[in-house]
A and B are shown apart, each in its own frame.
Chain A
Amino acid sequence: MAALEEEDKEPEAPTFSWMPADCVPMADGEYDAIVLHVDRNQYYGADSASLNLSNLFAKFNGGKQPEDRFFEILGQNRDYNIDLIPKCIMACGKLVKILLHTKVTRYLEFKSLDASYVYRSGKVYKVPATGGEALSSSLLGLFEKRRFRQFLVYLQGYDKDKPETHKGKDLTVMTMQQLYDYFSLEKLTQEFVGHAMALQTDDSYLSKPALPTVMAIHLYVYSLDRYGTSPYIYPMYGLGGLPEGFSRLCAIHGGTFMLNRSVDEVLFGADGKAWGIKGGNEVAKAPLILGDPSYFAKHGKCACTGKVARSICFLNHPIPNTNNAESLQIIIPAAQLKRKNDIYIVLVSNSHQVAAPGKYVAICSTTAETADPIKELQPALALLGPIMTKFDDCVELYEPTADGTADNCFISKSFDATSHFESSSADVLSLYKRITGADLDLNINADSTKGDY
């Protein structure tokens, strides 16, 4: 909580945890605010932190420390940076634009994920995304290869601002199902296009206009083209580098940071507007308050929207049948398992400096559909081969019930089950707009201050 000796310097925006919202708009100097950042954890990033072995073990075992044997088997604490929430970054996606815009890029290094796979009938296949890959993929039959290639060629030529590239199709009206049918794509091809390329989480997109899905496939293809063997990039030392980078950016612009401080409650006036936060016997005043739902739950500001099941698995081998990839993503389309929601697997290892040499961390996740969500992950776990140890987690997702303009509480959404940052980034941009009333212009500033790098 705010240091009391600083009464005269009222922070304008206490923020809790990463979110990742707080730092993005506040810290880059466009929105002039004094930021006080309070976090109940002793590390940055809340749910988006990357933990070492001790912190991970303690989190899942009521604060207990692991026995020495745990380290003997898995390796040293400092070798590990384990994400609690597995997400990859689309190389051309919104988060990359935010990183470039805020110049948080100067604190981080990235590496591509080795590969992107999709599940079909008990096996995993590399996702073909170019004409050449389509022709060689065993995912597609001989005639289907040609149809898929024609579909890709149409998509790659498509520019929504150039009607001559539309070839007479109005994708703002035509549904995605109609577009698939036009190219006579088989159901199984539709499945991997929709889920492993356009990253739709269920099949509701089929009956909607095709344009957003086509743009999502564009994003996938351009991202693949950008750095290498998959469209995904991932920071060295884990996703926790993102909140740490934003925190440093904010600190450089004068933000104050307090980790390991509990926030007991948000303080509201008679008019229902929040004016501060309280922890122990300290109070910090502020005209607006940002935070993740956990800090506002007891004030009835958030609603539960579902549950996510996650299983963090330690392996001493790559995932079978993936060409020994040291990092990858596997998507299991919902229909393959007669489910409503896809299941995701993200594998990372020593090549991204998140695990000891020879060790692999695979995180499986999905949106829960039954009373036993961890069991729903079983088909994903079955793909991993022998598992050394695992940590299961099932958490409720929350989102704010109001936009914050009436009560000064600007609340982010919980991180969802999707395996990339597109929805979280949209949430951050929405928060920025709710707070400032304007869209954040992500067009990269070409005259970046030299020497600051």
Chain B
Amino acid sequence: MASGRVCHFKLVLLGDTAVGKSCLVVRFVRDEFFEFQEPTIGAAFLTQSVNLENATVKFEIWDTAGQERYRSLAPMYYRGAAAAIVVYDITNKESFNGAKSWVKELQRRGDPNVIIALAGNKADLQNKRRVESEEAKQYSEENGILHMETSAKNATHVKDLFQEIARKLPKTPPQPERDAFPIIPPKHNENKVCC
């Protein structure tokens, strides 16, 4: 059961097109799976919490919205991300090479302390496997990142993956409170007098 504090973290998804990034999120957040998931999930971001023994970790999950396709992700996407899941498709060797370059990109553009998890998705398609578990595991160990094989289709290791990330995240606020603010709609009468 959740106890103690609630910590908020931004988590971004990276990886080549059609490896199942949105499917992983939809499985984790809504516990659903669609064979023909729309390439973008149509929301700014989704939220879902993971309960640990001493804290609740609330993820604000950003999907690429297709902007990874032509390598056109904006700096805003990486900014402030405490964690990233880099996804590849175990039946597609090219996507594993892609994942490695996404890890590099993340190390270059993201926060130096970002927690990275490598997810080999579509683990239900064992007979079409082109990326050996061992190879991905070794790569992950060398780079000090988490690794797990997942299946958004039959829900294998999806929750575990987020749980593992939640465990690794520091439970202190990632940065000191700033006096920055989001813009909020003014009250109605106020709105009227403004120009």
Contacts of A236 in B (CB 8 A): 178, 180
In the complex, given contacts A93-B195, A444-B185, what are 5 additional A-B residue pairs having Cβ atoms less than 8 angstroms apart?
A105-B184, A107-B44, A109-B180, A222-B194, A259-B70
Does residue A301 face the partner (Cβ distance < 8 Å to B)?
Answer: no
Does residue B101 face the partner (Cβ distance < 8 Å to A)?
Answer: no
Contact B42 A253 (CB under 8 A): yes
Q: Which of A233, A244, A255 meets B74, CB within 8 Å?
A: A244
Contact B182 A251 (CB under 8 A): no
Does residue A103 face the partner (Cβ distance < 8 Å to B)?
Answer: yes
Contact A257 B179 (CB under 8 A): no
Please, how many angstroms separate the alpha-carbon atoms of A241 and B80 in the complex? Answer: 13
Contact A108 B182 (CB under 8 A): yes
Please, how many angstroms separate the alpha-carbon atoms of A100 and B191 in the complex? Answer: 12
B34 to chain A, nearest CB (A): 17
Judged by DSSP, the binding face of A is: mixed
Stretch from B61-69, B84-92, B116-124, B148-156 that touches the partner:
B61-69
Please, how many angstroms separate the alpha-carbon atoms of A406 and B93 in the complex? Answer: 50
Please, how many angstroms separate the alpha-carbon atoms of A247 and B66 in the complex? Answer: 11
Contacts of A233 in B (CB 8 A): 183
Contacts of A256 in B (CB 8 A): 66, 69-70
Contacts of A105 in B (CB 8 A): 182-184
Contact A219 B194 (CB under 8 A): yes
Q: Which of A103, A218, A248, A452 meets B76, CB within 8 Å?
A: A248
Contacts of A70 in B (CB 8 A): none
| B interface residues with partner A (beta carbon < 8 Å) | 40, 42-44, 46-47, 64-67, 69-72, 74-77, 79, 178-186, 190-191, 193-195
Q: Which of B40, B76, B186 meets A226, CB within 8 Å?
A: B186
Contact B181 A252 (CB under 8 A): no
Please, how many angstroms separate the alpha-carbon atoms of A253 and B71 in the complex? Answer: 18
| A interface residues with partner B (beta carbon < 8 Å) | 43-44, 92-94, 96, 99-100, 103, 105-111, 215, 218-219, 222-223, 226-227, 233, 236-237, 240-241, 244-245, 247-249, 251-261, 443-444, 446, 451-453
Please, how many angstroms separate the alpha-carbon atoms of A249 and B180 in the complex? Answer: 22
Contact A248 B194 (CB under 8 A): no
Contacts of B71 in A (CB 8 A): 259-260
Contact B195 A219 (CB under 8 A): yes
Contact B65 A248 (CB under 8 A): yes
Contacts of A255 in B (CB 8 A): 66
Contacts of A241 in B (CB 8 A): 76
Contacts of B185 in A (CB 8 A): 100, 444, 446
Contacts of B43 in A (CB 8 A): 252, 451-452
A92, A105, A256, A257 — which one has the most chain B CB atoms within 10 A of its CB?
Answer: A257
Closest to A449 in B: B43
Contact B72 A258 (CB under 8 A): yes
Contact B181 A110 (CB under 8 A): yes
Contact B72 A218 (CB under 8 A): no
A-B contact number at CB 8 A: 108
Contact B47 A109 (CB under 8 A): no
Q: List 5 tightest A-B contacts by C-beta distance, closest first.
A: A251-B65, A92-B194, A244-B74, A109-B180, A244-B76
Contacts of A446 in B (CB 8 A): 185
Please, how many angstroms separate the alpha-carbon atoms of A218 and B193 in the complex? Answer: 8
Contacts of B194 in A (CB 8 A): 92, 218-219, 222-223
Q: Which of B72, B76, B178, B180 meets A257, CB within 8 Å?
A: B72
B46, B74, B191 — which one has the most chain A CB atoms within 10 A of its CB?
Answer: B74
Contact status of A107 and B183, CB under 8 A, knowing A219-B194, A258-B70, A259-B70: no
Please, how many angstroms separate the alpha-carbon atoms of A261 and B179 in the complex? Answer: 38
Contact B182 A257 (CB under 8 A): no
Contacts of A261 in B (CB 8 A): 70
Contact B195 A248 (CB under 8 A): no
B96 to chain A, nearest CB (A): 23
Contacts of B66 in A (CB 8 A): 251, 254-257
Contact A44 B40 (CB under 8 A): no
Contacts of A248 in B (CB 8 A): 44, 65, 67, 74, 76-77
Please, how many angstroms separate the alpha-carbon atoms of A245 and B67 in the complex? Answer: 12
Please, how many angstroms separate the alpha-carbon atoms of A256 and B66 in the complex? Answer: 7
Q: Which of A111, A244, A444 meets B191, CB within 8 Å?
A: A444
Please, how many angstroms separate the alpha-carbon atoms of A99 and B183 in the complex? Answer: 9
Please, how many angstroms separate the alpha-carbon atoms of A94 and B195 in the complex? Answer: 8
A92, A215, A253 — which one has the most chain B CB atoms within 10 A of its CB?
Answer: A92
Contact B179 A110 (CB under 8 A): no
Contact status of A259 and B195, CB under 8 A, knowing A105-B183, A108-B182: no
Q: Which of B47, B76, B190 meets A245, CB within 8 Å?
A: B76
Chosen A-B contacts, 20 in total, with CB atoms closer than 8 Å, are A108-B183, A110-B181, A110-B182, A111-B178, A226-B186, A233-B183, A245-B76, A248-B67, A248-B74, A252-B42, A253-B42, A255-B66, A256-B69, A257-B66, A257-B67, A259-B72, A443-B191, A444-B191, A446-B185, A451-B47
Q: Which of B40, B42, B181 meets A109, CB within 8 Å?
A: B181
Contacts of B191 in A (CB 8 A): 443-444
Contact A215 B180 (CB under 8 A): no
